[in-house]
Amino acid sequence: MTLTTERVDSVVEALRGVLRDDQILTSKTDRWNRARVPAPFPVHRWAERLPDLAVLPETTEDVAAVVRIANELLVPVVPRDGGTGLTDGAVPLRGGIVVDVKRMNAIHEIDVLNRTCTVGTGINMLKLNEELAKHGLIYPDDPASYPCSLVGGRIGTSGWSLIGARYGHTRDLVLSFDHVLPTGEVLHVGDGIGHKITKSSSGYQLKHLFMGHQGTLGIATRATLKLFPKPEAELSPFWAFDNYDDAYACAGDLARAGVATFAGAVLFDEAKVAYLRRDDEAYIPQPADVRALVCAVMYGYEDEVRPAGRRLLRIARSHGGRYLGDEISEGDWAARHDRYATPLHGRTKAGQVVPMSWHCEDAAINFTDLPAVSREWHEIVAALRRQSDVFDDWGMFAYTSSDNGTDWLTEIDVGIWEQQLDDHAWALWVQAKRDLAAVSLKYHGSISACHGSCREGEVDLVPQELGRGFDVMLDLKRTLDPRNIMNPGKYHLDRAYS
Amino acid sequence: MSMTESGTEPDLRASDERTQEFVAEWRNASYNCFSSGHKFCREVCPVMQVTRNESWTPTAFHANVVAMERGDLEVADIAADYVNCTQCGACELRCPNTLFTGDFYRFRTRTVDVVKAVRALAVETGIHQPQWQTWNERTDERTHEPVLGAVEVSQEHVRDWAADLDLPIGGESILFVDCEAAFYRTSVPRAVAQILQAAGYEFGLMAEQWCCGGPAAEMGYVDQARRFAEHNLADWRAAGAKRVLVLDPHDYITFTEDYPKYFGADFDIEVVLVVELLAEFIRDGVLTPSIPVERTITYHDPCRLNKRKGIWKEPREILRAIPGLTFHDVDRVTQWSYCSGGGGGLPIEKPELTAAISADRVARAAALEVDTLVSACPWSERPLREAGAAQSIDVVDIHELLAESLGITVGGSRGS
């Protein structure tokens, strides 16, 4: 908590001029339950991340009014949407006001002919798609957190979608949005004039600047999204391999094939399959010679997907892939897609089962560098595990990011025994995150394709990754947020003010 | 369990012995949620859907327990938040932890139990929610819930609904009628009793029926709940009962989950859900609904049947056997996020939230262009009926509908 009781009282008093009492939350539970995201953090340090209060705005004007007050009173503002991110964007580092946008979840318009909808950013994609389905449409932004993450968080983190190879990622699917700047001014941003325009050559391309900033440049409040016909058919074949190299080669060929309905491929490495076999109750056991897996998914009309499937099956067969059958393919894709594939336990080095939660570190890596990065990442986690039983290597996935196989979201899953995550173990973990990020940069990859890079550890390497671009970030931050009230403490942006 | 070289036993810093006992019992259940933090539960939660307040989510209900273990929160800090739950169980079903291990080990995240336990701890600690306190005091005085408001309920009137039906007292099979149905929606027990009579099924009523005690247990008044359970069990035993027929899903939860916990192996009473029994009668040809009922309906899966007990087939069997109905069904999984808002004591303490949840449920029915919403839970029918009136949607109990198709003139009151 950064504010004195008297300061909180004066902030609340000012907020009462623009919000109803039921939109201003100051109780302990209101604050404790807006201090966390799913990423592991030592439980004993929970109190370090409490906001002083939270607000539940219902309109863009509400948000703008709150931000203006915060700017005037020099109180930190932390935007919170789903709170499902893994890089602490929604976590207050210096107290202040959490602006929780969940009440801004209205569907303002569904424009069937122009294939767009306009929504409040507090809406969840699954809930939105329940309504769009009535029109035969879909908004295909599909992260692992699909049932719970919100459109605004997807904008603030510039999210990655499992089926992005077919439909694009959040940056492609969000056409424009209303955005409250750190000064409380409201900006409409998109391509050129924004609104329902998908491509403009007019002016700077500002939309990307206001996506993926992890709440440091303001708060998106209302967004216009790009819609597609709801796919008639889904095909998600899984293939088994007796070694990683063949699986890797196959995954690359699948992604490079240029099949129009191809929505993504996933490569499970040998450590992942070993882990699933060891500890995942939902894993359907395969013969011991199955050591790596590949899956692909296609979406479209049935008369597109069937021949596309035959082509991908041919490619997989040529690499020695064994099709696992319809039941496992459909079931396992549903499991990877609709649920988080996370048992609640891992093991100590002695083999003792212990309660662990899942965490993953990700990067964007070119196809040709995947094997080397995988090898070095496993070595880092193995070293971590040698030092502490708090950590367990749960293997790696690689997912296509693009529709042509250029770069892959590379992810190492680490089980963390959070109940035992003391300061020493936490320090080990933070250093391991730095080491993982350093490997990504060594291979000319990006620190994160998906989760963001503003968390303790990897954030230290962001200036190195962006080079002169990081100085531009500092200049922009200082210009747009002159009093450093918007999500302060993130991304080393304090350097803009020193 | 071995410990890490760097690990230490958790520092149980909760402020008092009772709270320490509480967190020792619930810390692992809550930690499973806390450490995962997925929040898949959030958008299916009926309270969350109408409040959009993250403090009142299943995730928060678990996280608070973890904070209590650290000594960061006390029961006084959290008790009022736990009002905001209908105990519908949707969150448990949507939890990835339930789904993953549930497929194989039937592990289910225990949010409803955590909510009940926090409420019980609050009452035990002397922290009362004002409306719940009054409600339970009056229930204790009257042996029935005060479902008629200013009009007093009492033992003398608990069988009034059956005045002209010539039902015996006692016997091997006892029909238990919940407070809402016995005093408010009397058409439901009248329909059930007359259908059972038409099927030739012998049953009787209790000599002295008290409230099942379930609502008291849901609101945290566990001692009272236990006393009521003991009375009812003694009444059944005195009557020579071998089984209890239940028409209300809330009673069904109480008798199949709470009573066995209270009485252990001594609880040897078979609990029969009437809607399952009637589906069996239709299947076996004992009952054949033949009079067309010209309505366009959809079915509301009562939370305690669908989400808590996995019972969704039998009501649909019954509805499909009734001629004349046009049935626009919504699958049971979609209905995980539907609720009437009538459970868990919510309408007593926060009627405005119940009304908002019911309005949402009825709006979903209205989108199907039906004229009737059929439920199988008397407690859902009052809030749904109130919300339905605004949309010109009639809310009917499945037993009432079946009775009509069997040519029974039900009588009684559908509430007013």
What is the residue extent of each domain of chain A? 5-102, 107-229, 233-338, 345-461
Residues 243-302 of A with CB under 8 A from B: 280-282
Our CA angle for A159, A160, A162, nearest 5°, is 140
Q: Residue B402: is its pLDDT beyond 50?
A: yes
Residues facing residue B172 across a β-bridge: none
Q: How far apart are CA B355 and CA B333, in angstroms?
A: 23
- Nearest CA to B267 out of B221, B236, B310 is that of B236
Residues 170-209 of B with CB under 8 A from A: none
Burial of B255 (0-12, 13-18, 19+ CB in 10 A): buried
- Residue A476, number of CB atoms within 10 A of its CB: 16
pLDDT digits (tens, 9 = 90+) for B46-56: 999 999 999 99
Indicate the fold that domain A107-229 takes in CATH: 3.30.465
- Nearest CA to A465 out of A487, A437, A490 is that of A437
Burial of B152 (0-12, 13-18, 19+ CB in 10 A): middle
Q: Are strands B243-246 and B173-176 parallel, antiparallel or unpaired?
A: parallel
Q: Name the amino acid, one letter, at B276.
A: E
Q: Are strands A238-241 and A219-226 parallel, antiparallel or unpaired?
A: unpaired
Question: What domains appear along chain B, each with residue ranges and CATH number?
Answer: 17-124 (no CATH), 158-278 (3.40.50.1860), 281-405 (3.40.50.1860)
Taken in order B116, B118, B121, B122, the sign of the CA dihedral is: negative
Q: Are strands A137-138 and A228-229 parallel, antiparallel or unpaired?
A: antiparallel
How would DSSP label each residue in A59-74? SHHHHHHHHHHHHHHT
Average pLDDT, chain A: 94
pLDDT at B31: 87
pLDDT at A117: 98
Determine contact, residues B281/B354, Cβ cutoff 8 Å: no
Determine contact, residues A19/A81, Cβ cutoff 8 Å: no
In which residue are the tokens 């997912």 written?
A: A399
Q: Which residues of A touch B99 (CB under 8 A)?
A: 339
Q: Are strands B270-273 and B243-246 parallel, antiparallel or unpaired?
A: parallel
Q: What tokens does B245 get?
A: 């027929």
Determine contact, residues A284/A277, Cβ cutoff 8 Å: no
Same fold, A5-102 and A345-461: no
In which residue are the tokens 């040897």 written?
A: B268
pLDDT digits (tens, 9 = 90+) for A90-110: 999 999 999 999 999 999 999
Q: How far apart are CA B374 and CA B385, in angstroms?
A: 10
* Contact assignment for B42 to A30 by CB distance below 8 Å: no
Q: Which residues of A touch B42 (CB under 8 A)?
A: 82, 124, 148
pLDDT confidence tier of residue B5, bands split at 50, 70 and 90:
very low
Q: Residue B3: is its pLDDT beyond 50?
A: no
pLDDT at B13: 60
Q: State the first-to-last Cα distance of chain B, in angstroms, to the nearest integer.
A: 60
pLDDT confidence tier of residue B36, bands split at 50, 70 and 90:
confident
Q: How far apart are CA B331 and CA B312, in angstroms?
A: 9
Q: State the first-to-last Cα distance of chain A, in angstroms, to the nearest integer.
A: 23
* Contact assignment for A354 to B1 by CB distance below 8 Å: yes
- Residue B124, number of CB atoms within 10 A of its CB: 15
CATH code for the part of the protein at A233-338? 3.30.70.3450
pLDDT digits (tens, 9 = 90+) for A132-156: 999 999 999 999 899 999 999 999 9
CATH code for the part of the protein at A345-461? 3.30.300.330
pLDDT digits (tens, 9 = 90+) for B168-202: 999 999 999 999 999 999 999 999 999 999 999 99
pLDDT digits (tens, 9 = 90+) for B78-116: 999 999 999 999 999 988 877 655 555 557 889 999 999
Q: What is the longest distance spanned by two Cα atoms in chain B?
A: 75
Long-range own/partner contacts, residues A127-130 (CB < 8 A, 24 or more apart): A127/B43
- Number of Cα atoms under 13 Å in the Cβ half of residue A454: 25
Quick one: DSSP state of residue A32?
H
Q: Name the amino acid, one letter, at B344.
A: G
Taken in order B2, B3, B4, B10, the sign of the CA dihedral is: positive
What average pLDDT score do residues B8-16 get?
Answer: 56
Indicate the fold that domain A5-102 takes in CATH: 3.30.43
pLDDT digits (tens, 9 = 90+) for A277-335: 888 766 667 788 999 999 999 999 999 999 999 999 999 999 999 998 887 777 766 66
pLDDT digits (tens, 9 = 90+) for A4-58: 888 999 999 999 999 999 999 999 999 999 999 988 899 999 999 999 999 999 9
Q: What tokens does A189 get?
A: 């941003």
pLDDT at A333: 66
pLDDT at B2: 32
Determine contact, residues A359/A40, Cβ cutoff 8 Å: yes
Residues 110-169 of A with CB under 8 A from B: 122, 124, 126-127, 145, 147-148
Q: What tokens does B386 get?
A: 């109130």
User: How large is the ipTM?
Assistant: 0.94
Q: How far apart are CA A461 and CA B261, in angstroms?
A: 56
Residues 182-241 of A with CB under 8 A from B: none
Residue A459 vs residues A262, A332, A430, B108: alpha-carbon distances, Å:
33, 34, 10, 37
Taken in order A325, A328, A334, A337, the sign of the CA dihedral is: negative
Note the pTM of the prediction, 2 decimals.
Answer: 0.94
Ordered alpha helix ranges (H), A74-169:
125-132, 151-157, 164-167
pLDDT digits (tens, 9 = 90+) for B266-284: 999 999 999 999 999 999 9
Determine contact, residues A143/A182, Cβ cutoff 8 Å: no
* Closest-approach residue (CA) in chain B for A28: B77
Q: Residue B6: is its pLDDT beyond 50?
A: no
Provide CB contacts within 8 A for A327, sequence distance 6+: none
Average pLDDT, chain B: 93
Q: Any chain A CB within 8 A of the CB of B71?
A: no
Q: Are strands A353-355 and A391-400 parallel, antiparallel or unpaired?
A: unpaired
Q: Which residues of A touch B81 (CB under 8 A)?
A: 29
Q: Residue B152: is its pLDDT beyond 50?
A: yes
3-state secondary structure of B372: strand
pLDDT digits (tens, 9 = 90+) for A323-356: 988 877 777 666 666 545 567 788 999 999 888 8
